[in-house]
Structure 1
Protein backbone atom coordinates (compact mmCIF):
# COMPACT_ATOMS: atom_id res chain seq x y z
CA UNK A 1 0.00 0.00 0.00
CA UNK A 2 1.43 3.37 -0.95
CA UNK A 3 0.83 6.78 0.53
CA UNK A 4 -0.14 9.40 -2.03
CA UNK A 5 0.91 12.97 -1.47
CA UNK A 6 -0.53 15.90 -3.36
CA UNK A 7 2.25 17.86 -5.07
CA UNK A 8 2.33 21.60 -4.36
CA UNK A 9 4.89 23.42 -6.55
CA UNK A 10 4.87 26.40 -4.18
CA UNK A 11 5.53 24.50 -0.96
CA UNK A 12 9.20 25.56 -0.82
CA UNK A 13 8.25 29.21 -1.32
CA UNK A 14 5.58 29.00 1.38
CA UNK A 15 8.07 27.63 3.92
CA UNK A 16 10.71 30.23 3.07
CA UNK A 17 8.46 33.24 3.62
CA UNK A 18 10.08 35.84 5.91
CA UNK A 19 7.18 35.97 8.40
CA UNK A 20 6.41 32.29 8.62
CA UNK A 21 4.44 30.16 6.26
CA UNK A 22 2.18 32.10 3.92
CA UNK A 23 -0.40 29.36 3.77
CA UNK A 24 -0.77 29.56 7.56
CA UNK A 25 -1.26 33.33 7.25
CA UNK A 26 -4.18 32.87 4.88
CA UNK A 27 -5.64 30.11 7.04
CA UNK A 28 -5.61 32.56 9.97
CA UNK A 29 -7.91 34.86 8.00
CA UNK A 30 -10.64 32.24 8.44
CA UNK A 31 -10.68 33.16 12.13
CA UNK A 32 -11.97 36.63 11.21
CA UNK A 33 -15.35 36.17 9.50
CA UNK A 34 -15.76 39.92 9.07
CA UNK A 35 -12.80 39.91 6.66
CA UNK A 36 -14.37 37.16 4.59
CA UNK A 37 -17.57 39.16 4.18
CA UNK A 38 -15.74 42.14 2.73
CA UNK A 39 -16.37 42.39 -0.97
CA UNK A 40 -15.53 45.12 -3.38
CA UNK A 41 -18.59 47.31 -3.69
CA UNK A 42 -19.55 48.18 -7.22
CA UNK A 43 -18.65 51.73 -8.14
CA UNK A 44 -21.87 52.20 -10.07
CA UNK A 45 -24.61 51.67 -7.52
CA UNK A 46 -28.08 51.08 -8.89
CA UNK A 47 -31.71 50.39 -8.16
CA UNK A 48 -33.82 48.38 -10.61
CA UNK A 49 -37.61 48.49 -10.41
CA UNK A 50 -39.77 46.20 -12.52
CA UNK A 51 -43.07 47.65 -13.70
CA UNK A 52 -45.82 46.07 -15.79
CA UNK A 53 -44.38 47.14 -19.15
CA UNK A 54 -40.94 48.52 -18.35
CA UNK A 55 -37.95 48.44 -16.04
CA UNK A 56 -36.72 51.63 -14.38
CA UNK A 57 -33.05 51.84 -13.43
CA UNK A 58 -31.44 54.53 -11.29
CA UNK A 59 -27.63 54.36 -11.41
CA UNK A 60 -25.34 56.61 -9.39
CA UNK A 61 -22.35 57.76 -11.44
CA UNK A 62 -20.94 60.75 -9.56
CA UNK A 63 -18.27 62.81 -11.27
CA UNK A 64 -19.10 61.62 -14.78
CA UNK A 65 -20.16 63.90 -17.60
CA UNK A 66 -23.17 63.07 -19.72
CA UNK A 67 -20.97 62.75 -22.81
CA UNK A 68 -18.77 60.13 -21.11
CA UNK A 69 -21.61 57.70 -20.27
CA UNK A 70 -22.56 54.88 -22.62
CA UNK A 71 -25.48 52.48 -22.29
CA UNK A 72 -25.73 49.41 -24.51
CA UNK A 73 -28.64 47.00 -24.68
CA UNK A 74 -28.55 43.52 -26.21
CA UNK A 75 -31.73 41.57 -25.66
CA UNK A 76 -32.08 41.33 -21.90
CA UNK A 77 -28.46 42.39 -21.14
CA UNK A 78 -27.75 46.03 -20.22
CA UNK A 79 -24.27 47.52 -19.84
CA UNK A 80 -23.58 50.93 -18.34
CA UNK A 81 -20.04 52.28 -18.73
CA UNK A 82 -18.63 55.67 -17.85
CA UNK A 83 -15.28 57.38 -18.00
CA UNK A 84 -14.63 59.49 -14.93
CA UNK A 85 -12.03 62.24 -14.86
CA UNK A 86 -11.27 64.16 -11.70
CA UNK A 87 -8.63 66.84 -11.42
CA UNK A 88 -8.11 68.71 -8.18
CA UNK A 89 -5.43 71.32 -7.56
CA UNK A 90 -4.72 73.30 -4.44
CA UNK A 91 -2.75 76.50 -5.05
CA UNK A 92 -1.21 79.02 -2.73
CA UNK A 93 -0.53 82.06 -4.84
CA UNK A 94 1.29 80.92 -7.97
CA UNK A 95 2.56 77.68 -6.40
CA UNK A 96 0.76 74.39 -6.72
CA UNK A 97 0.83 72.83 -3.26
CA UNK A 98 -1.18 69.70 -4.02
CA UNK A 99 -2.46 68.17 -7.23
CA UNK A 100 -4.58 65.02 -7.50
CA UNK A 101 -5.80 63.37 -10.67
CA UNK A 102 -7.99 60.38 -11.24
CA UNK A 103 -8.87 58.89 -14.59
CA UNK A 104 -10.80 55.70 -14.72
CA UNK A 105 -13.39 53.65 -16.53
CA UNK A 106 -16.26 52.13 -14.64
CA UNK A 107 -18.64 49.55 -16.01
CA UNK A 108 -21.55 47.49 -14.82
CA UNK A 109 -23.56 44.84 -16.66
CA UNK A 110 -26.74 43.14 -15.58
CA UNK A 111 -29.48 41.01 -17.10
CA UNK A 112 -33.21 41.53 -16.84
CA UNK A 113 -35.99 38.95 -16.96
CA UNK A 114 -37.25 39.98 -20.40
CA UNK A 115 -35.87 41.41 -23.64
CA UNK A 116 -35.78 45.20 -23.87
CA UNK A 117 -37.19 47.22 -26.76
CA UNK A 118 -34.06 49.24 -27.63
CA UNK A 119 -35.99 51.65 -29.88
CA UNK A 120 -38.26 52.81 -27.05
CA UNK A 121 -35.61 52.88 -24.30
CA UNK A 122 -34.88 56.26 -22.73
CA UNK A 123 -31.93 57.62 -20.71
CA UNK A 124 -31.67 60.81 -18.65
CA UNK A 125 -28.66 61.98 -16.58
CA UNK A 126 -28.91 64.67 -13.90
CA UNK A 127 -26.85 65.44 -10.76
CA UNK A 128 -24.82 62.23 -10.91
CA UNK A 129 -27.84 59.93 -11.35
CA UNK A 130 -28.57 58.11 -14.61
CA UNK A 131 -32.23 57.16 -15.05
CA UNK A 132 -33.07 54.50 -17.61
CA UNK A 133 -36.57 53.59 -18.73
CA UNK A 134 -36.36 50.20 -20.42
CA UNK A 135 -39.66 49.05 -21.98
CA UNK A 136 -40.19 45.33 -22.39
CA UNK A 137 -40.26 44.15 -26.01
CA UNK A 138 -43.75 43.13 -27.13
CA UNK A 139 -44.12 39.39 -27.34
CA UNK A 140 -41.13 38.89 -25.06
CA UNK A 141 -41.52 36.26 -22.42
CA UNK A 142 -39.55 35.39 -19.39
CA UNK A 143 -37.75 32.05 -19.73
CA UNK A 144 -39.56 28.77 -19.80
CA UNK A 145 -39.46 26.59 -16.71
CA UNK A 146 -38.98 22.90 -17.36
CA UNK A 147 -40.64 20.27 -15.23
CA UNK A 148 -38.15 17.79 -13.82
CA UNK A 149 -39.20 14.17 -14.23
Structure 2
Protein backbone atom coordinates (compact mmCIF):
# COMPACT_ATOMS: atom_id res chain seq x y z
CA UNK A 1 0.00 0.00 0.00
CA UNK A 2 2.81 2.40 0.91
CA UNK A 3 4.56 1.81 -2.44
CA UNK A 4 1.31 2.45 -4.28
CA UNK A 5 0.85 5.85 -2.58
CA UNK A 6 4.46 6.85 -3.28
CA UNK A 7 4.23 5.80 -6.92
CA UNK A 8 0.98 7.64 -7.64
CA UNK A 9 2.09 10.84 -5.92
CA UNK A 10 5.26 10.99 -8.06
CA UNK A 11 3.54 10.27 -11.37
CA UNK A 12 2.26 13.85 -11.98
CA UNK A 13 5.70 15.27 -11.17
CA UNK A 14 7.43 12.90 -13.57
CA UNK A 15 4.81 13.47 -16.25
CA UNK A 16 5.31 17.25 -16.04
CA UNK A 17 9.09 16.92 -16.01
CA UNK A 18 9.22 14.74 -19.14
CA UNK A 19 6.23 16.21 -20.98
CA UNK A 20 7.37 16.95 -24.51
CA UNK A 21 10.93 15.79 -23.79
CA UNK A 22 10.89 13.14 -26.47
CA UNK A 23 8.82 15.18 -28.88
CA UNK A 24 11.20 18.09 -29.43
CA UNK A 25 14.57 19.15 -28.08
CA UNK A 26 14.79 21.77 -25.33
CA UNK A 27 15.35 25.36 -26.44
CA UNK A 28 14.35 24.77 -30.05
CA UNK A 29 11.46 26.90 -31.25
CA UNK A 30 9.57 24.75 -33.74
CA UNK A 31 6.54 26.99 -33.80
CA UNK A 32 4.41 24.15 -32.45
CA UNK A 33 3.09 26.40 -29.69
CA UNK A 34 1.98 29.00 -32.22
CA UNK A 35 0.53 26.50 -34.66
CA UNK A 36 -1.15 24.62 -31.83
CA UNK A 37 -3.70 27.18 -30.82
CA UNK A 38 -5.20 30.61 -30.69
CA UNK A 39 -5.72 32.19 -27.28
CA UNK A 40 -9.10 33.92 -26.85
CA UNK A 41 -10.85 36.43 -24.61
CA UNK A 42 -14.63 36.37 -25.06
CA UNK A 43 -16.78 39.10 -23.51
CA UNK A 44 -20.56 39.33 -23.63
CA UNK A 45 -22.50 42.56 -23.52
CA UNK A 46 -26.24 43.17 -23.76
CA UNK A 47 -26.23 43.47 -27.55
CA UNK A 48 -22.95 41.97 -28.72
CA UNK A 49 -19.99 39.67 -28.12
CA UNK A 50 -16.43 40.98 -28.25
CA UNK A 51 -13.66 38.52 -28.98
CA UNK A 52 -9.94 39.17 -28.81
CA UNK A 53 -7.86 36.43 -30.47
CA UNK A 54 -4.09 36.40 -30.13
CA UNK A 55 -2.55 35.51 -33.51
CA UNK A 56 0.98 36.99 -33.59
CA UNK A 57 3.20 36.90 -36.66
CA UNK A 58 0.39 36.31 -39.15
CA UNK A 59 -0.63 38.63 -41.99
CA UNK A 60 -4.26 39.71 -41.94
CA UNK A 61 -4.68 38.26 -45.45
CA UNK A 62 -3.91 34.80 -43.98
CA UNK A 63 -6.69 34.98 -41.35
CA UNK A 64 -10.20 33.65 -41.98
CA UNK A 65 -13.29 34.05 -39.79
CA UNK A 66 -16.45 32.04 -40.44
CA UNK A 67 -19.74 32.53 -38.59
CA UNK A 68 -22.61 30.07 -38.71
CA UNK A 69 -25.40 30.99 -36.29
CA UNK A 70 -23.68 31.03 -32.90
CA UNK A 71 -20.65 29.03 -34.05
CA UNK A 72 -17.47 30.99 -34.80
CA UNK A 73 -14.34 29.58 -36.43
CA UNK A 74 -11.08 31.50 -36.65
CA UNK A 75 -8.28 30.03 -38.76
CA UNK A 76 -4.91 31.33 -39.87
CA UNK A 77 -2.03 30.12 -41.99
CA UNK A 78 1.32 30.52 -40.27
CA UNK A 79 4.45 31.08 -42.34
CA UNK A 80 7.70 31.74 -40.57
CA UNK A 81 11.17 31.87 -41.97
CA UNK A 82 14.29 32.93 -40.12
CA UNK A 83 17.88 32.61 -41.16
CA UNK A 84 21.12 33.32 -39.33
CA UNK A 85 24.11 34.09 -41.56
CA UNK A 86 27.77 34.57 -40.84
CA UNK A 87 29.34 36.03 -43.94
CA UNK A 88 28.17 33.97 -46.88
CA UNK A 89 27.66 30.76 -44.92
CA UNK A 90 24.21 29.93 -43.50
CA UNK A 91 24.65 28.61 -39.98
CA UNK A 92 21.01 28.05 -39.11
CA UNK A 93 17.77 28.14 -41.04
CA UNK A 94 14.39 27.54 -39.43
CA UNK A 95 11.18 27.43 -41.40
CA UNK A 96 7.76 26.23 -40.52
CA UNK A 97 4.38 26.44 -42.10
CA UNK A 98 1.11 25.39 -40.65
CA UNK A 99 -2.55 25.96 -40.15
CA UNK A 100 -4.09 26.86 -36.81
CA UNK A 101 -7.74 27.20 -36.01
CA UNK A 102 -10.09 27.67 -33.12
CA UNK A 103 -13.84 27.27 -33.09
CA UNK A 104 -16.34 27.90 -30.34
CA UNK A 105 -20.07 28.11 -29.79
CA UNK A 106 -21.73 31.25 -28.43
CA UNK A 107 -24.95 31.14 -26.42
CA UNK A 108 -26.86 33.27 -28.94
CA UNK A 109 -26.79 33.48 -32.74
CA UNK A 110 -24.72 36.25 -34.33
CA UNK A 111 -25.89 38.80 -36.89
CA UNK A 112 -23.27 37.99 -39.54
CA UNK A 113 -24.10 41.03 -41.68
CA UNK A 114 -23.29 43.47 -38.87
CA UNK A 115 -20.17 41.68 -37.57
CA UNK A 116 -16.82 43.49 -37.82
CA UNK A 117 -13.17 42.42 -37.54
CA UNK A 118 -9.93 44.37 -36.93
CA UNK A 119 -6.38 43.02 -36.76
CA UNK A 120 -3.82 45.16 -34.94
CA UNK A 121 -0.47 44.22 -33.39
CA UNK A 122 -1.11 40.48 -33.56
CA UNK A 123 -4.58 40.66 -31.98
CA UNK A 124 -7.76 40.01 -33.94
CA UNK A 125 -10.77 41.86 -32.49
CA UNK A 126 -14.22 40.64 -33.48
CA UNK A 127 -17.40 42.54 -32.68
CA UNK A 128 -20.30 40.16 -33.11
CA UNK A 129 -23.78 41.67 -32.61
CA UNK A 130 -26.41 39.32 -31.25
CA UNK A 131 -29.18 38.43 -33.69
CA UNK A 132 -32.51 39.99 -32.74
CA UNK A 133 -35.36 37.63 -32.01
CA UNK A 134 -33.10 34.65 -31.63
CA UNK A 135 -33.65 32.88 -28.38
CA UNK A 136 -33.29 29.40 -27.08
CA UNK A 137 -36.40 27.32 -27.18
CA UNK A 138 -37.19 24.88 -24.44
CA UNK A 139 -38.83 21.69 -25.64
CA UNK A 140 -41.67 20.13 -23.71
CA UNK A 141 -41.08 16.44 -23.16
CA UNK A 142 -44.18 14.37 -23.79
Q: If the length of structure 1 is used for normalisation, what is the TM-score?
A: 0.71
Residue 144 of structure 1 and its aligned partner are, at CA, apart by 3.2
Structure with the bigger RCO (C-alpha within 8 Å, sep 6+) is 2
- Mark the runs of 5 or more structure 2 residues left unpaired by the alignment: 1-6, 20-32
**Aligned position for 2:88:** 94
Task: Give the Cα–Cα distance (whole angstroms) in 2 for the partners of residues 30 and 86 of structure 1.
Answer: 41
Residue 147 of structure 1 and its aligned partner are, at CA, apart by 7.2
Residue 94 of structure 1 and its aligned partner are, at CA, apart by 1.1
**Aligned position for 2:46:** 52
**Aligned position for 1:133:** 127
Structure with greater helix share of residues: 2
**Aligned position for 1:74:** 68
Residue 140 of structure 1 and its aligned partner are, at CA, apart by 1.1
Residue 66 of structure 1 and its aligned partner are, at CA, apart by 0.3
Greater than 4 Å deviation, 4+ residue runs: 28-31, 145-149
* RMSD after superposition: 2.5
Task: Give the Cα–Cα distance (whole angstroms) in 2 for the partners of residues 78 and 144 of structure 1.
Answer: 21
- SS of match in other structure, 2:61: strand
Give the structure with higher Rg (CA). Answer: 1
- Mark the runs of 5 or more structure 1 residues left unpaired by the alignment: 1-27
| Residue-pair matches, total | 118
